[in-house]
């Protein structure tokens, strides 16, 4: 496994979760400190991916463009809990690697909240959205899994329902409950399940209909310009 992949896993599963946990101990508007730390931490894997060569401006531009598309996938669709942002994040990871998927997910979560409002939930969104893009990059990159539209749709639905959504829901335990009980679990994850299924359904639909054409465009850009070959 490449060094940048190892660093990505360490940042995602150790460094950022520790930052989120410590952030729950702070009060007031200190969540901005947590957001800043997470932003700095998520840049580490990308810097490692660029180790040994200078990144081209167009490589950074494509990350910005994909992030903007993901933001539009959340903001432009007026239906609550039915957003295309997760599909675009995952497709970014599939096309350009887990580091890019991680970065696009976290940036789009942070930036799109300027349309909704920043809050204590923002770092958790950055982490969970980035995690979805990272896993897509690891699983579907370099032919590890076939980029079949049905398989990608199933992956998108399951990832949103059992990973991204529950991570966001679990934030409540650190902020609103003194102890973990079955009653509290049902109170938090029960209502959240329906919302996660709606977002998962939208993700699956986008993957199914637009996944292959979108990947085709991104792959042609990558081959033509030799961009973001981070694997």
Distance between CA atoms of 207 and 90, rounded to whole angstroms?
A: 9
pLDDT digits (tens, 9 = 90+) for 97-119: 888 899 899 999 999 999 988 88
- Longest alpha-carbon distance in the chain: 55
- Decide if pLDDT at 28 tops 70: no
Distance between CA atoms of 135 and 159, rounded to whole angstroms?
A: 9
Rounded to the nearest 5 degrees, what angle is found at the Cα of 31, between the Cα atoms of 122 and 97? 40
Q: Report in angstroms the alpha-carbon separations of 88 from 100, 145, 149, 153, 163.
A: 12, 18, 14, 12, 17
Q: Is 0.75 surpassed by the pTM of this model?
A: yes
Q: What's the whole-number mean pLDDT along residues 81-88?
A: 92
What confidence category does residue 230 fall into, taking pLDDT thresholds of 50, 70 and 90? very low
Given this model, what pLDDT does residue 229 score? 53
Of the two residues 35 and 90, the one the predictor is more confident about is 90
């Amino acid at each position: 496994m490449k060094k940048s992949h190892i660093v990505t896993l360490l940042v995602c599963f150790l460094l950022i979760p520790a930052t989120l946990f410590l952030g729950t101990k702070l009060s007031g508007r200190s969540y901005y400190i947590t957001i800043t730390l997470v932003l700095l931490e998520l840049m580490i894997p990308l810097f490692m991916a660029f180790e040994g060569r200078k990144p081209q401006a167009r490589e950074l531009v494509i990350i910005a463009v994909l992030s903007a598309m993901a933001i539009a996938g959340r903001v432009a669709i007026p239906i609550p809990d039915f957003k295309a942002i997760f599909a675009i994040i995952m497709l970014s990871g599939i096309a350009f690697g887990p580091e890019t998927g991680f970065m696009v997910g976290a940036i789009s979560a942070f930036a799109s909240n300027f349309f909704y409002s920043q809050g204590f939930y923002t770092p958790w969104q950055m982490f969970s959205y980035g995690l979805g893009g990272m896993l897509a990059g690891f699983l579907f990159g370099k032919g590890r899994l076939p980029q079949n539209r049905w398989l990608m749709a199933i992956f998108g639905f399951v990832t949103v329902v059992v990973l991204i959504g529950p991570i966001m829901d679990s934030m409540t335990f650190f902020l609103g409950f003194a102890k973990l009980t079955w009653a509290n679990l049902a109170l938090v994850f029960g209502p959240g399940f329906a919302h996660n299924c709606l977002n998962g359904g939208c993700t699956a639909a986008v993957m199914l209909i637009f996944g292959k054409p979108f990947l085709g465009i991104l792959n042609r850009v990558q081959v033509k310009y030799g961009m973001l070959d981070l694997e």
